[in-house]
Amino acid sequence: SLFRLKDLEVAELGDCDVRIKMLAAPINPADINMIQGTYAILSSLPTVGGNEGVGEVLEVGQRVAALQPGDWVIPASTGLGTWRTQGVFPEKLLLKVPSDVPMLCAATLSVNPCTAFRMLTDFESLAPGDSVIQNAANSGVGQAVIQIAKASGIRTINVVRDRPDLSKLVDRLMALGADHVITEEMLRKPEMKDLFKSIPKPRLALNCVGGKSTTDMLRHLQPKGTMVTYGGMAKQPVTVPVSAFIFQDVRLRGFWITQWKKNHAQELPPSLADLASMMDALYQLIRRGQLTAPACTEVPLQDYKAALEAAMKPFTSSKQILLF
């Protein structure tokens, strides 16, 4: 195994640093890709895994203004190494979380819901009544897309892989606010025409699979629609028929939340206002009960091996959350 549970010395607290005690941190597909060395960020080894989570402030350096002991914080960017009981981090790498945000919501907020929010906002100006189509709709991002879209009056067509307990999954996504849940096979069927009698064709498609599922999804986009790719779980390229480009003038874009956050951290304000206003919008949704944590399984840190194995199984519909 690449993993060890190790005791490390906690760094000295500098003037601009914050000592935090981690409370909960999820295992995301990108965390596993980073460990496998197939991700765009490669840490020098040995390193601490984990890119998101929520912690409680224990102690702050003399020049730390915005945080105090007892505050909850989440990472402002990727690569913090959240799978640890304690750590010392520069204040600028942390965002304060309002105290009324539930722990599991906070622990899973900085990657998937932010990705969902940006993709629904930045590529097409969607209005109430418009529709979006997405694959891997049961993923963490997928569940956030359903809820954020629903809160804005945008309808969702959600594609999932066929599976033994399909009806249970369909019920769960419908309960989150999905308008339609269909299998990849159904995308190819003539019955899709009936579906579009009650819902407009989507202007936006969100893809984190690749391969055939993506090509089939693309066929249902409106002319001049946009497909945004943010993952490649099938490990197959995105294949686009020439006709989609020529006759439909579709746009193909990519999105990576790490890059978005990097761009916004490096520019001078007011671009940080984009990050703040997104976080505020997400907190509002959480307060209104319109955005919940994804389906989660809570695992104590010492059982991390079981959690990693579970996270890598196919058809997982529950996110593994390490508790410290």
User: Going from the N-terminus, what domains does the chain have, and what CATH number goes with each?
Assistant: 17-108+294-323 (3.90.180.10), 111-257 (3.40.50.720)
Q: Which of 39, 230, 283, 304 is catalytic?
A: 39
Q: Which residues pair with 298 in a beta bridge?
A: 321
The predicted pLDDT at position 222 comes to 96
- What would the pLDDT profile of 69-118 be if each residue is shown by its tens digit? 999 999 998 888 999 999 999 999 999 999 999 999 999 999 999 999 99
* Bigger pLDDT: 39 vs 216: 216
Calculate mean pLDDT across residues 232-254: 92
- Give Cα 181 to chain centroid, integer Å: 19
CA 302 vs CA 47, 56, 166, 205, 298: distances in Å: 18, 20, 32, 39, 12
Cβ atoms of 63 and 30 closer than 8 Å: no
How far are the Cα atoms of 156, 207, 210 from residue 178, in angstroms, in the given order? 6, 17, 22
Q: Do 73 and 257 meet the contact criterion of CB atoms below 8 Å apart? A: no
Q: What is the pLDDT of residue 123?
A: 98
Phi-psi region of 32 (alpha: psi -120 to 50; beta: other; left: phi over 0): alpha
Phi-psi region of 38 (alpha: psi -120 to 50; beta: other; left: phi over 0): alpha
Closest to 13 in 3D by CA, of 71, 57, 78: 57
Rounded to an integer, the average pLDDT of 46-59 is 94
Map tokens 């919008």 to a residue: 281
Using CA of residue 187, residue 191, residue 193, residue 199, what is the dihedral sign? negative
| Percent of all residues in the chain with a pLDDT value above 70, rounded to a whole number | 98
Confidence check: pLDDT of 39 > 90: no
The confidence score (pLDDT) of residue 190 equals 92
| pLDDT for the residue numbered 3 | 81
130, pLDDT greater than 60: yes
Tell me whether the omega of the peptide bond preceding residue 69 falls within 30 degrees of 0, making it cis: no
Which phi and psi (to 5°) does residue 170 adopt? -55, -45
Q: Give residue 272's pLDDT.
A: 64
pTM of the model: 0.94
Q: Given this model, what pLDDT does residue 271 score?
A: 61
**Residue 266 in this model has a pLDDT that exceeds 80:** no
pLDDT of the residue at 1: 58
Using CA atoms, how far apart are residues 115 and 117, in angstroms rounded to an integer? 6
Name residue 282's amino acid: L
CA dihedral 92→97→102→106, nearest 10 degrees, is: -30
Active site residue 39: yes
DSSP 154-183: -EEEEEE---TTHHHHHHHHHHHT-SEEEE
pLDDT band at 145; cut points 50, 70, 90: very high
Q: Over the chain, what is the mean pLDDT?
A: 93
Q: Which of 252, 210, 211 lies closest to 231, judged by CA?
A: 210
Structure tokens belonging to residue 312: 């890598």
